[in-house]
Chains A and B, each alone.
Chain A
Amino acid sequence: MLVLLALMGCKREERSVRLAPPLADALDQVALMPNGIGGAVPYVMAILDHPYDKNAYQLAQGKRLYDWFGCPACHGDGRGGVGPSLIDGWWRYGPDEASIFATIRDGRPNGMPPFSNKMTTEQIWQLTGYIRALGADYATAAAPGRNDDIHTRPAENRAPVDIGALLHPQEAR
């Protein structure tokens, strides 16, 4: 029984602190559609078992990066400001990870700067995973907790984080 257990949950809480450079290169090869919306994530992601969505440590790193790289300046605590809201269930370029990754890495028109020069591939993926967790409409076991800070919205593990926006999309936008 212990062997079964040991096999089962191996990856969820693993703390992988160093993404090997070849893997990082491979994860950078997102195959985007011509209009830049949607695409295919490199196969390596499946081999790694989607850590940026499922691994608590990677999500926590993404959460740290959200503050570190100035996202709140435009996106606030997720509810938006100058930039669009990330928690109202509406994704201008699609909710899939390839689009969000491309958004952060390459920027988008009307003000989203590219971060390819400022962040490594691993960091961009960590942030992608976090953004998807932030905007999720269901709670998962691996979601990050609240900030040890002033509380301006429900914590990410209470998904959906902004139920009001989900219920009343017009008012939120």
Chain B
Amino acid sequence: MRGFGAGFALLCAGCSGWQSAIDPAGPESRNLQHLLWLFFGVSAAVWVLVMLVLAVALMRRAAPSTAPLRPGSRGERGSAIAVSAAVAATAIVLVGLTVGSYRATSALGARGDEPLMVRLRGYQWWWEVTYLDPLPERVFVTANELHIPVGRAVTVDLVAADVIHSFWLPNLAGKQDLVPGRDNRISFTADRPGIYRGQCAEFCGLQHAHMSFFVIAEPPADFERWRSTQLQPAVAPMDTEQEAGQQLVTGKACAACHAVRGTGAVGTLAPDLTHVASRTYLAAGLLPMTRGSLAAWVADPQTIKPGNNMPAVPLSSDKLRSISAYLASLK
């Protein structure tokens, strides 16, 4: 009974959510949702009809004898017409659905002018986000989170760094794969503010289940504010603990892979940490961003996300405290 209630609860949970295909927040996904309702309506009607005919066919019992019948031609002709009509109706319905599908496809291809250009590079098992701009000094790199202005089209270039991944942001758009050796692209627009969650949708190895990302749609003014913050180098440490943390991050293994702009850490292999604390989640949508999560992650990444490429650097507890203080300050 509880399971049943849970199932019903899902019906409601799925109807709204930050990773739901049936809670559209943009014109592309709304288009898709309408198409879904069209197909669902037609399909449900067809299924019910077929079941009704089946039920009636079963209930039309004739004489109790079970000897095999010889087919009579009169009844057969009626059925022949009925079957032909059903086949014709099937074909017409399918043509209609195909046309509906084509119209949705062409609507998806339409793009606004002056889209925001972002390049998303999929790694095992995180997302590198590069905001592109004609002016090189306005290009910046972050990870696992995008902010987009409401009402403006966003075009994302999809690049795969290793294996095939897939960019899926159900509230805003259908998915598109990141295929090594191919230049794929996806466009979408958010028409209301919100936090939308996306997830990699092509099996990419051990931690495919934990390769999520967030897209935060906000009013254009807020977006510009966020963008200018991201363009700044890392915040300077404000007390001795953070100072010690910065020394450790730039001097030890962290800097070999991570970058913190404005310090000596210029690694390119792992997520950019310049503004890590400004993100909502850590480790590609796995842990909510808090100082505790940062500490737990740095202390033992392999227990939280087993198989990911971040090693467990042995650290004493006060070193860990300093590092987490510093990272939590990088807003």
| A–B direct touch in complex (beta carbons closer than 8 A) | yes
Which of B180, B253, B309, B314 lies in contact with A64, CB distance below 8 A?
Answer: B309
Chain B residues near A120: list those with CB within 8 A.
253, 311-314
Which B residues are in CB contact (< 8 Å) with A24?
A: 312, 314
- A15's nearest neighbour on chain B, judged by CB, is B307
Closest partner residue, chain B, to A24 (CB atom): B314
Interface string of A123-135 (1 = CB under 8 A from B): 1000000000000
Majority secondary structure, B binding face:
loop
Instruction: Type the 1/0 row for B299-318, where 1 means its CB is closer than 8 Å to any CB of A.
Output: 01011001101011110000
B89 within 8 A of A: no
Closest-CB distance, B248 to chain A (whole angstroms): 10
Minimal Cβ-Cβ distance residue in A for B270: A68
Give B306's nearest chain A residue, CB to CB: A17
Complexed CA–CA distance, A117 and B311 (Å): 13
B255 CB contacts on chain A under 8 angstroms: 118
Q: Is the C-beta of B138 less than 8 angstroms from some C-beta in chain A?
A: no
Across the interface, do B251 and A117 meet the contact criterion of CB distance under 8 Å?
A: yes
Q: Is B257 an interface residue (CB 8 A)?
A: yes
Number of interface residues of B (CB under 8 A): 19
Answer whether A21 and B306 are a contact pair too, CB < 8 Å, given A69-B256, A117-B253.
no
B111 within 8 A of A: no
User: Are B302 and A17 within 8 A (Cβ)?
Assistant: yes
Instruction: Determine if A17 and B314 form an interchain contact, defined as CB atoms under 8 angstroms apart.
Output: no
Within the assembled complex, what's the spacing in Å between the Cα atoms of A46 and B143? 40
A14 on the interface (CB 8 Å rule)? no
B-contacting residues, A1-58, CB 8 Å:
15, 17-19, 21, 24-25
Name the residue in B180, B306, B313 with the highest tally of chain A Cβ atoms < 10 Å from its Cβ: B313
What is the minimal beta-carbon distance from A110 to any residue of chain B, in angstroms?
Answer: 22
Chain B residues contacting A68 (CB-CB under 8 Å) are: 257, 269
Q: Which residues of B contact A25 (CB under 8 A)?
A: 314
Interface residues of B in 276-331 (CB under 8 A from A): 300, 302-303, 306-307, 309, 311-314
B306: chain A residues within 8 A (beta carbon): 17-18
- In Å, the complex CA distance between A99 and B331 comes to 44
Which interface residue of A18, A19, A24, A148 has the most chain B CB atoms within 10 A?
A: A18
In the complex, A119→B306 CA distance in Å?
A: 18
List of A residues within 8 angstroms of B252 by Cβ:
117-118
Q: Is A122 among interface residues, defined by CB-CB distance under 8 A?
A: yes
CA distance A118 to B311 in the complex (A): 11
A24 to B309, CA, bound (A): 17
Mark each residue of chain A from 67 to 88: 1 if its CB lies under 8 Å from any CB of chain B, else 0: 0110000000000000000000
Does residue B107 face the partner (Cβ distance < 8 Å to A)?
no
CA distance A2 to B253 in the complex (A): 44
Chain A residues positioned under 8 Å from B302 (CB to CB): 17-18
Judged by a CB distance under 8 angstroms, whether B6 is at the interface is no
CB atoms of A21 and B312 under 8 A apart: yes
On chain B, the residues within 8 Å of A15 by CB distance are: 206, 307
Apart from A21-B312, A68-B257, 13 more pairs, CB < 8 Å: A15-B206, A17-B307, A18-B300, A24-B312, A64-B309, A69-B256, A117-B253, A119-B253, A119-B256, A120-B311, A120-B312, A120-B314, A122-B312
Chain A residues with CB under 8 Å of chain B are 15, 17-19, 21, 24-25, 64, 68-69, 117-120, 122-123, 148
What is B's interface to A at a CB cutoff of 8 Å?
A: 180, 206, 251-253, 255-257, 269, 300, 302-303, 306-307, 309, 311-314
List of 7 A-B pairs having minimum Cβ-Cβ separation, nearest first: A18-B302, A118-B256, A120-B311, A17-B307, A17-B306, A68-B269, A123-B311
- 9 chain-A/chain-B pairs, Cβ below 8 angstroms: A17-B307, A19-B312, A24-B312, A69-B256, A117-B253, A119-B256, A120-B311, A122-B311, A123-B311
